[in-house]
């Protein structure tokens, strides 16, 4: 999971470098082409080149694609105009927002401890965004909008059936995002791609594929409650890359807010894991009791 977060943060870094000389949507379109080709090769290697989306999941997949495209636009605008670590710190609130919306919309059970952690986490987000402060700008709002769109995407993903192929959905989404970038790039003046820009686009595509692959490998073999907190290593990578590549370092309030968000998110994830394990043990205990109390089959007793 740490490797996946490093790959995704490296992708963000290369994107930020490319957009210094190449228009945003031109870059998204070109990266989408390279990513789609690589994903076809990956699907072929995994034996999943032929796939189909169950009819019951198609509406959710389309909703997920629209949310992904909206998140891509708002995220990219925030990314190219804000320090890398600041964007990553705001996006660290995602587990909190997903838990909260699942509680409000789907009535998923959430105890008072997790609700309190969510409130504290969003207070940390306010320290990062600093509304009304001198460091506040419209691009912080774009980052917050990204949190909202990605929350919708993740909740729709959780509602997909087990028959929906993960890599197939990821491939369709990648093609749709690249296609959206191509359509939006019509309004831009395309710029020639030099060797460095081409290398950055290729590297960004490789990092996206690596992030997808590492994530899938992790979620297939690791317990969610154990590996999910390692998603927050993305903030560490963002701090390191932001400093060494762009010379950016967040101010004290941003660092304090990010620490609060990360602590609240880790508590929420671990609490969800503990509650889920407790429910599994209770279900197993009830099943064992039911089996023990069931009458044992045997020869008919004399009357």
Find how far residue 205's CA is from the centre of its chain: 17
Determine contact, residues 265/95, Cβ cutoff 8 Å: yes
Determine contact, residues 172/64, Cβ cutoff 8 Å: no
* Residue 180 CB-half CA count within 13 A: 15
Q: How many CB atoms lie within 10 A of CB 31?
A: 25
Average pLDDT over residues 200-216: 90
Query: Taking all residues of the chain, what is their mean pLDDT, rounded to a whole number?
Result: 87
Q: Of 218, 204, 199, 203, which Cα lies nearest the Cα of 3?
A: 218
**pLDDT tier at 303, thresholds 50, 70, 90:** very low
Determine contact, residues 92/262, Cβ cutoff 8 Å: yes
- 80's tokens: 């190219």
This prediction has a pTM of 0.85
- 149's tokens: 């769109």
Average pLDDT over residues 3-15: 94
The H-assigned helical ranges of 185-299 are 195-221, 224-227, 233-246, 252-293
What DSSP character marks residue 222? S
Query: CA angle, 58 as apex, 154 and 276 as ends, to 5°?
Result: 35
Determine contact, residues 146/74, Cβ cutoff 8 Å: yes
pLDDT tens for 88-132 read 999 999 888 988 888 888 887 888 888 999 999 999 999 988 876
* pLDDT at residue number 292: 64
Determine contact, residues 7/214, Cβ cutoff 8 Å: yes
pLDDT tens for 147-191 read 999 999 988 988 888 888 888 888 999 899 999 999 999 999 999
pLDDT tens for 227-274 read 778 889 999 999 999 999 999 999 899 999 999 999 998 888 888 777
Determine contact, residues 264/118, Cβ cutoff 8 Å: yes
Virtual torsion, Cα 239, 181, 167, 215, nearest 10 deg: 0
3-state secondary structure of 96: helix
């Amino acid at each position: 999971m740490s490797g996946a977060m490093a790959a995704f943060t490296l992708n963000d870094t290369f994107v930020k470098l490319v957009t210094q000389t190449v228009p945003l949507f031109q870059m998204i379109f070109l990266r989408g082409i390279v990513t789609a080709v690589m994903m076809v090769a990956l699907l072929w290697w995994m034996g999943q080149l032929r796939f189909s989306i169950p009819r019951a999941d198609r509406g959710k997949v389309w909703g997920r694609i629209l949310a992904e495209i909206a998140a891509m636009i708002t995220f990219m605008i925030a990314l190219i105009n804000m320090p890398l670590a600041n964007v990553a710190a705001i996006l660290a609130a995602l587990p909190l927002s997903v838990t909260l919306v699942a509680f409000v919309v789907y009535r998923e059970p959430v105890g008072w401890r997790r609700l309190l952690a969510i409130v504290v986490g969003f207070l940390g987000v306010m320290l990062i965004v600093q509304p009304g402060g001198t460091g506040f700008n419209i691009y912080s709002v774009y980052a917050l909008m990204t949190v909202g769109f990605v929350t919708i995407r993740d909740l729709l993903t959780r509602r997909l059936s087990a028959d929906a192929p993960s890599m197939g959905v990821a491939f369709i989404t990648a093609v749709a995002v690249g296609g959206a970038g191509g359509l939006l790039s019509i309004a831009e003046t395309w710029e020639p791609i030099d060797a460095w820009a081409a290398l950055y686009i290729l590297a960004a595509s490789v990092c996206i594929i690596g992030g997808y692959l590492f994530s899938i490998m992790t979620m297939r073999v690791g317990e969610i409650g154990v590996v999910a907190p390692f998603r927050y290593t993305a903030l560490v990578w963002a701090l390191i890359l932001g400093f060494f590549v762009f010379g950016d370092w967040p101010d004290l309030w941003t660092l304090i807010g990010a620490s609060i968000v990360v602590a609240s998110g880790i508590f929420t994830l671990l609490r969800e894991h503990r509650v889920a394990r407790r429910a599994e043990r209770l279900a197993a205990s009830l099943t064992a009791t039911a089996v023990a109390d069931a009458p044992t089959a045997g020869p008919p007793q004399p009357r």
